[in-house]
Amino acid sequence: MALVVQKYGGTSVGNPERIKNVARRVLATQQAGNQVVAVVSAMSGVTDSLIKLAKEVHDMPSEREMDVLLATGEQTTIALLAMAIHSLGAKAASLTGAQAGIVTDGVHTKAKIANITPKRVHELLDAGHAVIIAGFQGETPDQQITTLGRGGSDLSAIAIAAAVKADICQIYTDVDGVYTADPRVVKDARKIPEISYDELLEMAALGSKVMQARSVEFAKKFNVVFEVRSSFNDNPGTIVKAETRSMEDVVIRGVAVDKKQAKVTVAHVPDKPGMAARIFRAVADANVNVDVIVQNVSEQGTTDVTFSVSTDDLKKALVTLEPLVKAIGAGGVTAKDGIAKVSIVGVGMKSHPGVAADMFETLAGHGINIQMISTSEIKISVVVDLKDADKAASVLHEKFGLGKK
């Protein structure tokens, strides 16, 4: 008997019919002779509307209360899915993150999983239940409800698969795998049969929201092999696993677009040691992730420091930096949205020179202006105007031969 962990995302449980569809899939997996744990997200749109509600009450709501609020989304789904399985005459029990033994640190809205004690999960499985666990949530050692960052049900599923030593981990979503680019943006995108943790990690971190980046990081760390596939058909999906030699033959695996980007500029920073350190320490202490950083040439003893952040963190970054700007004697802090980050990713880049030049020439050839650049061993990212983002993704996808042949 195999132990299978399945995760169903928001669209897959988006209405009562779809919840019944998931109930049938869980049961079919069980009837094939397996034990099944299903980790589920909030019904699609629910988390967004809860966030909107909160913002109508307070423009910067307490992060502790946000977690209490957002956890209700997943809690609705677990109960409904358990009921749907009951209506098919089978045994199922729902568990919140806390009941499933998921313990996290106390960083509200972006908590990290510290450990999982899945005793109750095993007891219920052994008693013949399908176990339905709320994704995206956990609790601190002193019983505060926490959530794991947007898209965090992916992380719940991977972490639970590791904790229960699952034989199979399947991430069911509304596309049938990881594609060479978002199939909703690049019509020509192709499904990737196998991808390495590092490549998917970069794609996810760079805006391909098919998997939460942190979940892929976790899978890599604990070597959880998983498959991304569709809850609406039975097509084989994408297998995500450690890098193999043959993966390096492909120069570019995929193109990622992140449209939720904003640029923050701290102007006229005194040009002396320790200034950048103070700026980025303050931002880090506010739990804001900084991405591309540019510091321009110093003129008259000052420099401008510009960096990109997620639009979700923009307000927090500005609130943090305003007092600091005064303290360090900088000129001021400004923000600009309406930008996007477009990236190409592939482990093959390590052994193939000239990729950056090809990328920049292609964008130039289509009249797309590059505002910022950042690179790592296996990715190149550029910040461009939001209006150019989809076109940039399409032309790069074509340039690197990723489309349907």
Residues 6+ apart with CB under 8 A from 282: 320, 321, 324
Judge whether 160 and 120 are in contact, CB under 8 Å.
no
**Taking the complex as a whole, how short is the minimal distance between the CB of residue 111 and ligand ASP, in angstroms?**
13
Q: Is 240 in the site for ligand ASP (CB under 6 A)?
A: no
Cβ nearer to ligand ASP, comparing 113 with 247? 113
User: Residue 346 binds which one of ligand ADP, ligand ASP, Mg ion, none, with CB within 5 to 8 A depending on kind?
Assistant: none
| Contact code string over 249-288 relative to ligand ADP, x by CB under 6 A | -----x----------------------------------
- Give the footprint of ligand ADP on residues 98-157 (CB under 6 A): 151
Among 41, 303, 343, 381, binds ligand ASP (CB under 6 A): 41
42 binds ligand ASP (CB under 6 A): yes
Distance separating alpha carbons of residues 113 and 128, to the nearest angstrom:
27
Interface positions, 222-241, toward ligand ADP (CB under 6 A): none
110 binds ligand ASP per the rule CB under 6 A: no
Does residue 179 touch ligand ADP according to CB under 6 A? yes
Residue 73 to residue 356: CA distance in whole angstroms? 43
Task: Work out whether 151 is an interface residue with ligand ASP (CB under 6 A).
Answer: yes
Position among 138, 152, 177, 207 found at the interface with ligand ASP (CB under 6 A)? 152
Largest CA distance in the chain: 77
Report, in Å, the least distance between residue 207 CB and ligand ADP: 8
Question: In the complex with ligand ADP, which residue's Cβ is closer, 213 or 269?
Answer: 213
Partner whose footprint covers residue 385, from Mg ion, ligand ASP, ligand ADP, none (CB < 5 to 8 Å by kind): none
The window from 78-86, 119-127, 202-210, 297-305 that contacts ligand ADP (CB under 6 A) reads 202-210
Per CB under 6 A, residues contacting ligand ASP are: 9-10, 41-42, 47, 73, 135-136, 150-154
> By the criterion CB under 6 A, which residues form the site for ligand ADP?
9-12, 41, 151, 173-175, 178-179, 181-184, 203, 208-210, 254
